[in-house]
Chains A and B, each alone.
Chain A
Amino acid sequence: MSFLRLCASASRHVVSSPAAVDSLFIGCFRTTSGAVKDREPLRKAKTPQGRFDVPEETSKDVLQKFPDDVNPATKEKGGPRGPEPTRYGDWERKGRCVDF
């Protein structure tokens, strides 16, 4: 039990140190280049450990899947997502016509 607590405390220390290292690096960059860099932080600034801490806004697909894949209006299971593709007389998906 105590061993676990020790591990936990150690990992906490490990987690906090990269942030410090980070700022150290950024500080170094600013001083060596001479100019003040107004750029966004480096792409790899978030280490793999840190990346999943903030859940990313997952881009929503325009055509949502129906709950249980069953279209509530027509009771079709496994059918096309989104509004009825044949509603304009041709087969439409995402504004593209694929058959007519």
Chain B
Amino acid sequence: MATVRAASRLLSKRVLSRAKAVPAAAVQGSRNFHFSIYGKKKSAKVSDDISTQYPVVDHEFDAVVVGAGGAGLRAAFGLSEAGFNTACVTKLFPTRSHTVAAQGGINAALGNMEEDDWRWHFYDTVKGSDWLGDQDAIHYMTEQAPAAVVELENFGMPFSRTEDGKIYQRAFGGQSLKYGKGGQAHRCCCVADRTGHSLLHTLYGRSLRYDTSYFVEYFALDLLMDDGVCKGVIALCMEDGSIHRIRAQNTIIATGGYGRTYFSCTSAHTSTGDGTAMVTRAGLPCQDLEFVQFHPTGIYGAGCLITEGCRGEGGILINSEGERFMERYAPNAKDLASRDVVSRSMTIEIREGRGVGPEKDHVHLQLHHLPPQQLASRLPGISETAMIFAGVDVTKEPIPVLPTVHYNMGGIPTNYKGQVIDHTNGKDKVVPGLYACGEAASASVHGANRLGANSLLDLVVFGRACALTITDLHKPGEKLTPLKPSAGEESVANLDKLRFANGSLRTSEIRLNMQKTMQNHAAVFRTGSVLKEGCDKMDDVYQSMENIKTFDRGIVWNTDLVESLELQNLLLNAVQTINAAEQRKESRGAHAREDFKDRVDEYDYSKPLEGQQKKTFDQHWRKHTLSYVDPKTGKVALKYRPVIDSSLNEQDCAHVPPAIRSY
């Protein structure tokens, strides 16, 4: 009897323990694993509609996101959360996207350090963009900023805290209080030294809760357009060489910038402007590509930026003659002049033949005249940085530096909701089925110049905006409109042509030519003659693509092929950048020209407005550039689109009328 009771007790214990061992997730119902080893969805069908040589698999989803950086992941799981069957196509594993390198902070008017208002953040951003930013999009972003940061914090992002436990904010990125009159504002929230890394990992971790289908290491080739409506993307699976046509009602492009068009840039090798090129090949415009943000002292070859603090602590810039050349360009400020003055001076020295190195294409930043202890105490870690990235001992040799590309303000034009727009007959027209967010898009919050710590905010706010817009306009499970069976044929033909290319120039040679041309002609120093020469040279480089030679004829993990496809994308971005820069005859924000040093607005805002004649749209330059390219010839056509000057709600937040930008 006792043994029976003991046995039953034991049994009940075991049953209970097994019951406890059942995970909570299983109670919801059985769910397949997020990933599957052989192929993605069971609805994928193999077809030979467009090619008999390449296996083509057709997929159907409600939405597809191209790119899995900060913006792409936010959009993807925003849609999955709303119940849409979402695919995320990315050529890199999500946590390897370039967002991970963004170590600065994220701006939001939370008001934790002092009294703050998002309208003051709005004013700072509009002023920073040099009045080229669309004020409705900036209103949207700055109003949503506190909610976005709190949402990220709720997802688990470990922001640094004050003693009270609120998010710690520091002063950064040209932020002010009371519309510029109240002193420095503290708005930048960060996570130790690695905000972007933490953001990306938080978003990736959060996205795994939902049912997004990830197509990792799939290179998106082109958009599937049908009569001006976007119906999906066609992508190459790098792992096995199969082509996948992913049909979806909604496509979101979040592929990042195109820093790799320049010889010296801080971006990863994968920042090749794939999304902007896909949109260009679809016949749609790209906006404001001439606005590229430079930093004067980037390490030659490596692309890492050396802080301005080096010059602040006494470091000097030296040319090949050992001369401290900044004394000639800025007699008072010398090396402490503003960034654009320093960048332009360095470029002029290099152009005039006083650069250093075997190709005389950079200058030196000298720090070895400073006492080593002072250097180590004021700038800890710099000797390590210089040794790792430049291979120099900072106490003995100078660091090779040159102006380096950091961010692309331009991209795919969208409205504040994230929908891609085209400008026809003087009106903005939405392209159905296509959305864009992140650095690839230009909802134009950054305008002509991006403020620090605003780009991470841009990612999350507009990623979420795209997801919300799609949720408003569509329902999950909507029937897809029919697509021509031959959609995507040209992309596969192009792929095939590149795979078997047998010209005389290697991909790396053409790419280096493009990068050198852009660095010499479309960098910081821009004048009419230099830009014109650059446009002609870029045209030659573009034509030289006909002569490309690839070596790998295989189809499995053919990096030669993928690099050549990326080069095609880079070239499309590069020709648009340099042609748009050549046409814009003014200096605004990051686009500074020697021959047109002033901003040309509809009124001259440095004088009182009464009595001034308003210039017509053709005569002034406070407008967005829209560039189209004919992919076969490489010819660029430019159109212009007015800046949106009204905010979303004039009562709530009045728009900021243009003024002279001075800090």
Which residues of B from 374 to 427 have beta carbons under 8 Å from A? 378-386, 406
B102:A80 contact, CB within 8 angstroms: no
CB pair B452–A100 under 8 Å, yes or no, is yes
Total number of A residues with any Cβ neighbor in B under 8 Å:
29
Indicate which residue in A79, A91, A94 contacts B382 across the interface (CB closer than 8 Å): A94
A77 to chain B, nearest CB (A): 4
Q: Are A76's CB and B162's CB within 8 A?
A: yes
Q: Which of B12-20, B163-171, B240-248, B437-445 contacts A (4 or more CB under 8 A)?
A: B163-171
Query: Are A80 and B193 in touch, CB under 8 angstroms?
Result: yes
Q: Which of B280-288, B303-311, B348-356, B638-646 contacts A (4 or more CB under 8 A)?
A: B303-311
- A90 contact set on B, CB distance < 8 A: 307-309, 452
> Is B360 an interface position by the 8 A CB rule?
no
Residue of B nearest to A76 (CB): B168
Distance A92 CA – B17 CA, assembled complex (angstroms): 53
Partner of B385, one of A89, A95, A99: A95
Does residue A7 face the partner (Cβ distance < 8 Å to B)? no
With contact pairs A62-B380, A97-B295, A99-B102 given, residues A88 and B309 touching in the complex (Cβ less than 8 Å): yes
The residue of chain B having its C-beta at the shortest distance from the C-beta of A61 within the complex is B381
Q: Helix, strand, loop or mixed for chain A's interface?
A: loop
**Partner among B102, B160, B173 whose Cβ is within 8 Å of the Cβ of A76:** B160
Q: Quick check: is B453 within 8 A (CB to CB) of the other chain? A: yes
Question: Of all chain B residues, which has the CB nearest A82?
Answer: B380
CB neighbours of B105 from chain A (8 A): 91, 99
Contact A95 B382 (CB under 8 A): yes
- Cross-chain contact B193 with A97 (CB below 8 angstroms): no
- Shortest CB-to-CB span from A11 to chain B, Å, is 42
A77 and B190 within 8 A (CB):
no
Beta-carbon contact of A97 and B381 below 8 Å? no
Which of chain B's residues has its CB closest to A83's CB? Answer: B380
Write out, one digit per residue, whether chain B residues 282-324 have a CB within 8 A of any chain A CB (1) or not (0).
0000000000000101000000111111101000000000000
Beta-carbon contact of A62 and B452 below 8 Å: no
Which residues of A64-99 have CB atoms within 8 Å of chain B's CB atoms? Answer: 74-99
CB distance from A53 to the nearest CB of B (A): 30
Tell me the nearest residue of chain A to B394, going by C-beta.
Answer: A95
Is A15 located at the chain interface by the 8 A CB criterion? Answer: no
Chain B residues whose CB sits within 8 angstroms of the CB of A45 once the complex forms: none
B163 touching A99, Cβ below 8 Å: no
| Contact between A99 and B452, CB atoms less than 8 A apart | yes
Bound Cα distance A76, B102 (Å): 21
Determine the distance from Cα of A77 to Cα of B112 in the docked complex, in whole angstroms.
Answer: 14
- Smallest CB separation, A86 vs chain B (Å): 5
Interface residue? A26 (CB, 8 A): no
B532 at the interface (CB under 8 A from A): no
Residue B207 lies at the interface, judged by CB distance under 8 Å to chain A: no
State whether the Cβ of A63 lies closer than 8 Å to any Cβ in chain B. Answer: yes
Asked if B161 lies at the interface with its beta carbon under 8 angstroms from chain A, I say yes
Q: Does any Cβ of A come within 8 Å of B259's Cβ?
A: no
A contact residues around B219 at 8 Å (CB):
none
Q: How far does the alpha carbon of A97 sit from the alpha carbon of B308 in the complex, in Å?
A: 8
Indicate if the CB atoms of B295 and A77 lie closer than 8 Å. Answer: no
B104 to chain A, nearest CB (A): 3
Chain B residues with CB under 8 A of A80:
160, 190, 192-193
Q: Which listed residue (A63, A76, A84, A88) contacts B307, Cβ 8 A?
A: A88
- B267-278: CB near A (< 8 Å → 1, else 0) gives 000000000000
- B306 partner residues in chain A, CB cutoff 8 A: 95-97
Please report which residues of chain B, range 126-163, place their CB below 8 angstroms from some CB of chain A when the two chains form the complex.
158-163
CB distance from B443 to the nearest CB of A (A): 20
- Nearest B residue (CB) for A98: B103
Is the CB–CB distance between A78 and B384 below 8 Å?
no
A42 to B400, CA, bound (A): 39
Among B173, B190, B381, the residue within 8 A (CB) of A63 is: B381
On chain B, the residues within 8 Å of A63 by CB distance are 380-381
Task: State the CA gap A64–B309 with chains docked (Å).
Answer: 20
Closest to B375 in A: A95
**Given that A86-B171, A89-B308, A99-B103 are contacting pairs, would A94 and B384 also be in contact in the complex, using a CB cutoff of 8 Å?**
yes
Question: What are the residues of chain A within 8 A of B295 when measuring CB–CB?
Answer: 97, 100
| Distance A79 CA – B190 CA, assembled complex (angstroms) | 7
Residue of chain A at shortest CB distance from B158: A78
Q: How far is the CA of A98 from the CA of B158 in the complex (A)?
A: 20
The answer to whether B381 touches A82 (Cβ under 8 A) is yes
Chain B contacts for A81, CB-based, 8 A: 192-193
Confirm or deny: B506 has a beta carbon within 8 angstroms of a beta carbon on chain A: no
Residue of A nearest to B452 (CB): A99
Q: In the complex, are the beta carbons of A94 and B158 less than 8 A apart?
A: no
Which of B104, B159, B304, B382 is the one whose CB lies under 8 Å from A78? B159
What A residues does B386 contact at CB under 8 A?
Answer: 95
A32 to B647 Cα, complex, angstroms? 87
Q: In the docked arrangement, what's the CA distance between A78 and B309, Å? A: 24
Asked if B334 CB lies within 8 Å of chain A CBs, one says no
Contact flag A78-B170 (CB < 8 Å), given A87-B309, A94-B382: no
With contacts A88-B307, A88-B308 taken as known, whether A62 is within 8 angstroms of B381 at the C-beta atoms is yes
Q: Is B498 an interface residue (CB 8 A)?
A: no
A contact residues around B163 at 8 Å (CB): 75, 77
Mask for B174-209, Cβ within 8 A of A = 1, else 0?
000000000000001011110000000000000000
Establish whether residues B168 and A96, one from each chain, have CB atoms under 8 Å apart when the complex forms.
no
Interface residue B118 (Cβ < 8 Å from any Cβ of A) = no
Q: Which of B442-467 contact A (CB under 8 A)?
A: 452-453
Q: Which residue of B lies closest to A84 (CB)?
A: B170
User: Within A10-63, which residues are at the interface with B (CB < 8 Å)?
Assistant: 62-63
Which positions in B face A, CB cutoff 8 Å?
101-105, 158-163, 168, 170-173, 188, 190-193, 295, 297, 304-310, 312, 339, 378-386, 406, 452-453
Known: A95-B386, A96-B307. 18 other contacts (CB 8 A): A77-B163, A77-B168, A80-B192, A82-B381, A83-B380, A85-B193, A87-B309, A88-B312, A90-B307, A90-B452, A94-B380, A94-B384, A95-B310, A95-B381, A95-B383, A95-B384, A98-B305, A99-B452
Q: Identify 7 residue pairs between A and B in the complex whose beta-carbon atoms are under 8 Å apart, listed by A's number.
A: A62-B380, A62-B381, A78-B191, A79-B192, A87-B309, A90-B307, A90-B452
Which residues from chain A sit less than 8 Å from chain B, CB to CB? 62-63, 74-100
Leading 4 A-B pairs by shortest Cβ distance: A99-B104, A94-B381, A95-B382, A88-B309
